[in-house]
Chains A and B, each alone.
Chain A
Amino acid sequence: MLRKISLIIALITLLLLWVDIFTFSGFLQLHLGISTKIILTFSIVVSSLIYLLPRPTYKLSHRLLTPTIILILIYLLIITIEGITSTGYILSHLHLRPEAMFYPVLAMSIFALSTNLVVKETTSIRLTTYFLVIALCYYLLRQLPIILVQSSILIKTMVMAPTASYDDKMRSAWGDFYDYMVYLKQNLPAEGTVLGIPPQRSPWYLYGNGMLVQYFVYPTTVGNIDFGANPSNLPPYLMQLSDWPPNNPLSVNDKWGLIKL
């Protein structure tokens, strides 16, 4: 009897957790005064009690396993779709908040496992095993969506541009900076020279990174020039940005150039 009551309480708490997903974050807090996290903790405690109660388990708990696995798969699918489209895609199309699904899916997984996992040990070991299983569920449900989204984005990138060239790939990684590096390489003497670049401080952290610029313009060597400190010698070439060097003729609407001294 106690086990049946616990099962019903656990199921109600599991259903309650879904309310926030189809409404808005904090709906339960606003109307019932209870936060989602408290309901989650409560459902885990109830699941633990069921787990510790004497056997046999009821058919209901056995039947919960398949829906739980299906639920996990749906959750992963939804998160993946959201990851490869845009934030809010699922909310606008299915009217549910995918990021909030984590709590009910976690609670459901723990509940389904707790009512089916039978460990042939003493009560203390069974209880610790049970908490190890909770940690496992938490780990898998936290990490799996992250990796699935990452791998889906990778697949999407490959499918969208299967014949992308080296330049295309570098441009997608570095944006305009890469185009400027290609421009510099093409316009600097092939045998190499010395190129003056801005000091590596705000706002030139990227363009002022000597090692990075050198990767692209080698055999040209690179040196940081700080006009604030009145440099005595200037190199034969200077990087030309809209805000560097000071008083350069480049209009702010132009992106870049190269100054030959």
Chain B
Amino acid sequence: MKISTIVLPFLFLCLTSAAEAQSMFRGNAAHTGVYPGAGPREFHRVKWKFPTGARVVGSPVIQDKIIYFGSDDGSIYAVDAESGRQIWKTTTRGPVPCTPAVDHGTVYVGSYDGKFYALDAQSGAVKWKFATEGERRFEAKGVHGMQPKNQTIADPFDVFLSSPAVVDGAVYFGSGDGNLYSLDANSGDLRWKFKTGDVVHASPAVVNGVAYVGSWDSYFYAVDVKNGKEKWRFHAGEDALLHNQVGFQSSPAVVDGVVYTGCRDAQLYALDAATGKQKWKFDNALSWVITSPAVADGKVYFATSDSSLYHVVEAATSKPVLKEEDEAYMFSSPAVTNDVVFIGVLNGTLEARDRNSGKLLWEYQIETSKRNANWILTADRRFNVPLIFFDTWREGPLVSVDRQFAIGAIFSSPLVANSTVYFGSTDGFVYALE
């Protein structure tokens, strides 16, 4: 009796803090994508939805019952998780399509204005900011077949900025200037920067003194967090023809000494975390793997873009466990809970799938998607590609992609806390479903 009196409250406190400790991209610095507790197996209601001034591409995080997220309207928001009411917002000078990290009362986040911000979690006041060498999108001549083929064009599918990880008083993030940065979390002073060959918009995972991140130069890097020195690098696919099958946009998960990451060369890779040696790769037949894999109980959960497939494979071998066909591309990363997996789809639908069978339990289609302006979707909610991409010349494809995303696309990776699913959409809202 005495033991239970002592242990039970302690256990409760541990569980409570575990449920709340989802304060950075993919839940933790290893990016496992696993959210303790249960998510709703049935859809009951929209608990609240919160409007911002523009698209919400990044993901929300939670700390002490406050939801933090960025919007392309340039602001970082703090919103009460229960009521959906705004607590504060702080405005930067550029879109914020990434996920903040919250640590010891400070919110860390980057902006397209080329600055990285540390904000007071209670008030939103700027504690410090750090100027990178400037943001930009991945770009290439005639990228994806856009014409004229000799013209350098920014990649409209480079939608995210790198989301920070905070570990042991240091913050780590990538930048469009090609660097992986490490700053002192308290002062914002530069600890080191590590130069890669192109844009770094994937988000670093930090485990056992090593930062892992891929770059658009198609190398995946392991960097010693003490000094910023390279430990190893892994070379993925190249595409000199269209620059389509190249580069890391997916962020890694690091579990039990293995790094799992998707790549735009259409592979999901498993690399030895100590050496960078490839353990296996899973081929997705020219379909990008933008999602960041989730890893739980010996299984890897991920999804693809063009082929629109939801996969679960064995972490040790890549042997398929299950595969489900979806209606549209997925850039959102799966959130794994006790028995439900949540993922966003670019057609404006949030899906809940049974963790074991992969079968759809429920889905929520947002209103913008239902309205289907410009017939971006087919009647069965696939992308209406012939109508969207009818022009490959000059600004044509860029305008098309912009229209495609305006359908209420869910790039945001769901956050699951207290039996509620939180995510953002390009309709400008953050949703809380239960």
A associates with B: no
A-side residues, CB < 8 A to B, are: none
B-side residues, CB < 8 A to A, are: none
